[in-house]
Chains A and B, each alone.
Chain A
Amino acid sequence: MSINRRQFLGFGGAAVAAATLAPGLRLIELAQARSPEEAVTSLHRWGLLIDASKCADGCTSCVDACHEENGVTSHNRPATDAQWIRKVTLKDKQTGHVQTLPLMCLHCEHPPCVDVCPTGASFKRADGIVLVDKHICIGCRYCMMACPYKARSFVHEVTTGQKAHAPRGKGTVESCTLCVHKVDRGDGSTACADACKQEGHQAILFGDLKDPGSEISKRLASQPSTQLRADLKLNTGVRYQGI
Chain B
Amino acid sequence: MKQFTVALLVGLLTASAAFAAEPKKPARVPVPTILINQDKGEQCVEPTEVMRRDHMKFILHQRDKTMHQGVRTTKHSLKNCVDCHADAKTESVLGKDGFCESCHAYAAVKLDCFECHSALRETANVTVPSSSTVRALNVSQQKTGESAGSTGSRQAKGKKP
Contacts and interface: CB of A to CB of B under 8 A. Distances in A.
B65 to A, nearest CB: 8
Interface in A56-97: none
A169 B72 contact: no
Interface string B110-129: 00000111101010000000
Contacts of A164: 79, 82, 117-118, 120, 122
Contacts of A184: 70, 72
Interface string A143-167: 0000000000000000101111101
Interface residues of B, number: 18
B143 interface: no
B116 A36 contact: no
Contacts of B120: 164
Interface residues of A, number: 29
A36 B69 CA distance: 10
A37 interface: yes
A185 B68 CA distance: 15
B71 interface: yes
Nearest to A166: B118
Contacts of A135: 63, 67
A38 B68 contact: no
Interface in A160-195: 161-165, 167-170, 172, 180, 183-185
**Interface-central residue, A39, A167, A183, A184, by most chain B CB under 10 Å:** A167
B74 A36 contact: yes
Contacts of B122: 164
Interface stretch (A24-32, A99-107, A123-131, A231-239): A123-131
A197 interface: no
A127 B117 contact: no
B71 A167 contact: no
A39 B117 contact: no
A110 interface: no
**Interface-central residue, B63, B67, B69, B71, by most chain A CB under 10 Å:** B67
Given A135-B63, A164-B79, A164-B82, A36 B118 contact: no
Given A39-B70, A162-B117, A184-B70, 18 more contacts: A34-B70, A36-B74, A38-B71, A39-B65, A40-B69, A125-B68, A125-B69, A133-B68, A135-B63, A135-B67, A159-B116, A163-B118, A164-B79, A164-B82, A164-B120, A164-B122, A184-B72, A185-B72
By Cβ-Cβ distance, the 7 closest A-B pairs, closest first, are A169-B116, A39-B69, A40-B70, A164-B122, A167-B116, A36-B72, A167-B117
Interface of A: 34, 36-40, 123, 125-127, 131, 133-135, 159, 161-165, 167-170, 172, 180, 183-185
